[in-house]
Amino acid sequence: MPNSFLVRNVRMRIRCLVIMAGLWFVLAISSPAQEFRAAWADVFHVGMGSQTEVNNMVATLVSGHYNAVIVQVVGYMDGIGVNSHGAHWKSNILPWSPRVTAGFDPLAALCAQAHANGIEVHAWLGGSAGAMYRVSTAWPPAGNATLTAHPEWFIAPLANSEGGAPVLVDGNYDLDMGSPDAQEYIVSIVRELVTNYPIDGINWDDELNNAGYAAGFGYPALSQTNYPNSGLGRYRRNTGYVGTPPNTDTAWSNYRRRFKNELMARVQAEIQSIKTNPRQPLRHTSAALAYSPYPTSCTFAGLVPYTYFCDWAGMLQNGWLDAVIPQTYSLGTFTNWANFSASCWQYNRQIFPGIGAYLNTNASIANMIGYTRSIGLKGNAIYSYGVPHTNFVPAESDWWAYAAANVYTNIVSTPPMPWRNPATATEGIVWGRVKDNNTGLYVDDATVTVAGGPTVKTDGNGYYIATLVPATAGGTAHSVTASKTGNVLQTTNAIALAGDIVRYDLLLNIVPRPAAPSGLTATALSISQIKLTWTDNATNETGFVVARGTASGGPYTDIATLAPNSVVYTNNGLTSATTYYYVVRATNAVGASTNSAQASASTFVNPFPAITGQPQNQTVVISNSATFSVTASGAAPLSYQWRFNGIAISGANSSSLTLNSAQYSNGGNYSVTVSNTLGSVLSSNATLTVLTARPTIQLTNIWNIQAGSRTYVTSGNTERGICINPLTGHVLLVSRSAQISGALGVFVLDGNTGAQVGTMNLTGVSSSATFVLNKIDAAADGVIYGGNLTTASGTSPFIIYRWSSEGTAPTVAYSGAPDSGTTARWGDSFSVTGAGVNTRIVVSGSSATNAVLFTTSDGTNFIATVINPAAPVAAGEFSRGLHLLGTNTFYTKNPGFNACKPYNYNVAANSASTSSDIAPLDTSMLAISVVTNYSLIAGVVDDNSINTSGHSVKVYDISAPASPVVVSNFNFLAFGSGTNSSNSNFGAGIDSDGTRIVALDTQNGVVALQILVNNPPPRINAFAVLPANRRQFQLNVDPGTFVVQGSSDFSNWLDLVVTRTNGIFEVIDPVTNSPTRFYRTKN
């Protein structure tokens, strides 16, 4: 940022104005309700040199309807008797500027006057060329005894690196950005300001010029022997580098960016933790570089700010700053920087473009402000109060009056920071220091991992700052672990608070808590006993505690305390046919380990038959299929007999009943008797309603997840598996970009909102496969199955994992080469149907010319049967869109073709034949889900472009298979620069539970839809007059929701009693003496 009297070439200025006139126009954008309206006030001009200057500045800002001033409180850290040098407050750390006297404190005076007039005060530190590290232009720094005594805290150009004395870099003596002592000195200045003055924020001058960068910014003045904690010393110690790296060395440049980021993160934590400041929450900002060349994409790396160690996009992305005020002074590059700032780099924080008012006319400034409003940016700042536009000839009228009349026509407050408000925030900060318990020293470069949050490194003072930690206002628990190679780690439990900061200091090399047990298994022994076994991983435990719960995930109650080295326990006195959930922890004098992974088992069932899952009501359109199912317990073998309106159905003797083409006469009550040698039990009735007229189907978008908005939903082709659990209604999402176990996570989302409600246990999910877990689906009983992706099945098996519920650890349901290794690749497609022993899974791969059906006889372990199509197909025919239905049908859709092919398969014959195609469909449709109860087919459409219109969820009505009709088409949300990502891998997933559809485009996020059904109005389809005043008719809908009425004159209507027999309805009309009778249905 300019900080001295300005000299500009007049001809260059005029040329810029001509360009301005050719490119800009007045943007008539109305003032927003909240907007950051600031002016910088530097130490080189008038502003707060006296009470009069303070009063004038505040009055001027008020007249222009401004609401903030960014006042330079220190430009140089020395005191040479010049106004621009020294602290502009009564500092106990820095020498004072001559403007500060015993009777006048400029910053205190400004805070009082500004706040009384609705103006925020942001303290600006640093200056041009040396940024926040700038100290002086002469050595030693006059009046600063601390810095004079520590030349080792300073830098020199690369040519003078470790030469034994500080040397000027771009005209200044600057502090070492990587020195922990220099960082602590700068932080102490911030703490003094925030503690002693009611300021509204901290603003950094982060401007390093080309001359300073080219000379080599960040090299130490003293040798590592004399001062091991220089930035270069830290780099050598932490990386093992030997020698002095060149200025352009990539790793060394990244480390210098790290040094700057460490300061930003530390100050973000410090200013939030000082609760005594009455102006909290304070806004942490940076006046960052925005030099030419201007950006042409969302990629920030490689731009001049990034090269000059000012990665302000990363600072926003990581929550180290609340806002950036980029120095977008150049007229020729302003719109480019503003556009990419708005669309790429805000990351749920704020960007307020800085405007070089001294370079522009009033109208031009107004245009720039209008443009920022038009693209959604929430404010701006002008440089400067002291020199708003005086370089123009002839001089213009007062900018402040012009602003109030034409730009800032109303008085508004500054925009809020939702991430700092517990009522709206979803994140918090966890911070602290890591110390070596053996040496008492703070640890540099230790790793601190917040479970469910970020993994960060400690700085040279041992501080770690974990931002963006998921949190609620009431507190969210996270495990926090500090570790470093060769040291004993420590883990503690932290409670993160939304919109707030909490501190947890950690010690390495303390006597550790015992290691947690692993490999916990639970095995039922009888109707009242469960045996537990586990692996003892601890060497210092004094005992074990067994805890039990009745719901997956707890809460757990301690039930037994055992001796050290115990590895087995039998739990007696349990209830039959009940599932119990267990965890075990080790204990010693320090405390307890974390719990083991949960294990569960169900006590043996009472041998008498019992219904555990009742059949459910069904509503279908005539000629569509309807399936009823029941789950039961009892001593095997169990037999089944289905009944219709109380009468046994011949041949209906399995746990499910499917009516392949339901007719109106099939409407009624269905139940099932389950029997074994000890007795029988009858289920409740499930009603089948058959609609002879098709209902109107509507779909509405209920939630979305934009690619890049969550760590586990990316644009990087790392999510391919998604499903709805029909038992819980949750959505399960497989991601290889966010970690629960290794580079893998299965995230549990609320099906109605998309909010994350948990994660699944991945213990034991590992293999040498290409993707350890690729696809996921759930059976009708809520059991979850997932498959890996192998490209070498002969040596790396295809594996199916089975979770009995969302809270349990998985078991392996199948592992092997599905077709004995003939086909190398399996797992691109994966679909599950049925429940229990009737569960079926179909799988294929992009190199397969067939599919494999997996079946089970015990509901736990599966065997593979190859299904070959009767007519040969190309490799990959079944690898993208594959959906399994019922006991003998699957549907397939391949990109590049417009038809969905239904296949009927025969397990005994190892074959499948296709019937009539469902066509035409979108050729770019990938994954599909068939919603049979409403004759719908939903699919993910991806044309491998970046166009938003090419990435959608398209739903067809296929009641007429030869002429499907599009009923809805919802696009995936765009990201980044407003486009979508191409999908050359054709990865997608989609599922439906009959009421909702959830879809995943592997590089473009998630879309969730709700199926809304509007049944047709009641209508009499057929009518007959019978003896004894009986009237017989058929209706197009179930009559339970309306009545039938009779009338002789269309005025007086009489309700009639309706009886129903196998879909035929009758009424008895008591009126017999009327020559004409009329009948109607009524809701």
The pLDDT tens digits for 379-412 are 999 999 988 765 555 556 689 999 999 999 999 9
How many domains does one find in the chain? 6
For the entire predicted model, the pTM comes to 0.52
Residue-wise pLDDT for 501-521, tens only, equals 999 999 998 877 899 999 999
SS3 at position 751: coil
pLDDT score, position 20? 36
pLDDT score, position 1024? 77
CATH number of the domain at 641, please.
2.60.40.10
The DSSP call for residue 133 is T
- Residue 666: band (very low, low, confident or very high) from pLDDT cuts 50, 70, 90: confident
Say if residue 948's pLDDT is above 60: yes
Token pair listed for 80: 């040479």
CATH number of the domain at 858, please.
2.120.10.30
Say if residue 606's pLDDT is above 50: yes
pLDDT score, position 7? 28
Claim to verify: residue 641 and residue 754 sit in the same structural domain: no
- Mean per-residue pLDDT over the chain, rounded: 89
pLDDT score, position 120? 98
Say if residue 749's pLDDT is above 70: yes
- Residue 240: band (very low, low, confident or very high) from pLDDT cuts 50, 70, 90: very high
Q: Can you tell me the mean pLDDT for 844-853? A: 91
Say if residue 19's pLDDT is above 90: no
Q: Name the nearest CA neighbour of 588 among 536, 626, 652, 549.
A: 536
d(CA 501, CA 495): 10
Claim to verify: residue 915 and residue 974 sit in the same structural domain: yes
> Residue 386 is part of which domain span?
10-136+174-209+278-418
Q: Can you tell me the mean pLDDT for 294-313? A: 96
Greater model confidence, 115 or 744: 115
Sheet of 721-724, strand order: 721-724, 731-735, 745-749, 756-759
pLDDT score, position 8? 27
Which segments of 365-420 are extended strands (E)? 379-383
Claim to verify: residue 988 and residue 1040 sit in the same structural domain: no
Q: Is 147 domain-assigned?
A: no
Residue-wise pLDDT for 188-207, tens only, equals 999 999 999 999 999 999 99
Token pair listed for 284: 């942490």
The percent of residues in the chain predicted with pLDDT above 90, rounded, is: 62
d(CA 790, CA 827): 7
Claim to verify: residue 963 and residue 854 sit in the same structural domain: yes
Claim to verify: residue 326 and residue 413 sit in the same structural domain: yes
Beta bridge partners of 183: none
**Would you say 965 and 981 are in contact if contact means Cβ atoms under 8 Å apart?**
no
Greater model confidence, 594 or 636: 594
Claim to verify: residue 435 and residue 339 sit in the same structural domain: no
Q: Can you tell me the mean pLDDT for 967-993? A: 80
Claim to verify: residue 676 and residue 744 sit in the same structural domain: no
- Residue 741: band (very low, low, confident or very high) from pLDDT cuts 50, 70, 90: low
Q: Is 817 domain-assigned?
A: yes
Claim to verify: residue 657 and residue 701 sit in the same structural domain: no
Q: Can you tell me the mean pLDDT for 284-288? A: 97
pLDDT score, position 216? 96
Q: Is 614 domain-assigned?
A: yes
Contacts of 556 (CB under 8 A, 6+ apart): 547, 548, 549, 581, 582, 583, 595
Token pair listed for 808: 């349990």
pLDDT score, position 1041? 57
Least confident of 607-611, 820-824, 884-888: 884-888
Beta bridge partners of 929: 938
Residue-wise pLDDT for 1000-1023, tens only, equals 987 788 999 999 877 666 666 667
pLDDT score, position 137? 97
Contacts of 464 (CB under 8 A, 6+ apart): 431, 432, 433, 434, 446, 448, 456, 457, 458, 482
pLDDT score, position 505? 96
Q: Can you tell me the mean pLDDT for 758-768? A: 83
pLDDT score, position 14? 25
d(CA 1067, CA 1078): 13
Say if residue 61's pLDDT is above 60: yes
CATH number of the domain at 448, please.
2.60.40.1120
Q: Which of 968, 994, 1014 is the last residue of a domain?
A: 1014
Find the angle CA(723)-CA(729)-CA(733) to the nearest 5 degrees.
30
Q: Can you tell me the mean pLDDT for 237-266? A: 97
Least confident of 396-400, 478-482, 1045-1049: 396-400
Q: Can you tell me the mean pLDDT for 220-244? A: 96
Claim to verify: residue 1026 and residue 966 sit in the same structural domain: no
Q: Is 705 domain-assigned?
A: yes
d(CA 298, CA 769): 34
Q: Name the nearest CA neighbour of 731 among 1008, 988, 928.
A: 1008
SS3 at position 205: strand
Say if residue 830's pLDDT is above 80: yes
d(CA 1039, CA 1033): 11
Residue-wise pLDDT for 156-171, tens only, equals 999 999 999 999 999 9
Claim to verify: residue 383 and residue 283 sit in the same structural domain: yes
The DSSP call for residue 396 is P
- Residue 213: band (very low, low, confident or very high) from pLDDT cuts 50, 70, 90: very high
Q: Is 235 domain-assigned?
A: no
Q: Can you tell me the mean pLDDT for 435-451? A: 95
Say if residue 1045's pLDDT is above 70: yes
Q: Is 982 domain-assigned?
A: yes
Whether omega for the bond prior to residue 964 falls within 30 degrees of 0, making it cis, is: no
Residue-wise pLDDT for 915-945, tens only, equals 788 889 999 898 999 998 778 999 999 887 8
Contacts of 291 (CB under 8 A, 6+ apart): 304, 305, 327, 330
Say if residue 967's pLDDT is above 50: yes
Greater model confidence, 388 or 572: 572
Claim to verify: residue 407 and residue 437 sit in the same structural domain: no
Q: Which of 691, 707, 724 is the last residue of a domain?
A: 691
pLDDT score, position 3? 39
Contacts of 591 (CB under 8 A, 6+ apart): 513
- Residue 632: band (very low, low, confident or very high) from pLDDT cuts 50, 70, 90: confident
Tell me, letter by letter, the H, E, C secondary structure of 474-492.
CCEEEEEEEECCCCCCEEE
- Residue 1056: band (very low, low, confident or very high) from pLDDT cuts 50, 70, 90: confident
Residue-wise pLDDT for 699-738, tens only, equals 999 999 998 889 888 877 777 899 999 989 999 999 887 6
- Residue 15: band (very low, low, confident or very high) from pLDDT cuts 50, 70, 90: very low
Kindly list the distances between the CA atom of residue 132 and the CA atoms of 151, 183, 555, 821, in Å, as whole numbers in the listed order: 17, 10, 51, 63
Q: Can you tell me the mean pLDDT for 268-297? A: 95
pLDDT score, position 147? 98
pLDDT score, position 880? 82
Q: Is 406 domain-assigned?
A: yes
pLDDT score, position 822? 84
Q: Number of H helices and number of E strands within the chain? A: 13, 69
Claim to verify: residue 623 and residue 729 sit in the same structural domain: no
SS3 at position 929: strand
Radius of gyration of the chain (CA): 36
Q: Which of 567, 602, 637 is the last residue of a domain?
A: 602
Q: Is 228 domain-assigned?
A: no
Kindly list the distances between the CA atom of residue 463 and the CA atoms of 239, 447, 452, 505, in Å, as whole numbers in the listed order: 19, 11, 20, 9
The DSSP call for residue 413 is B
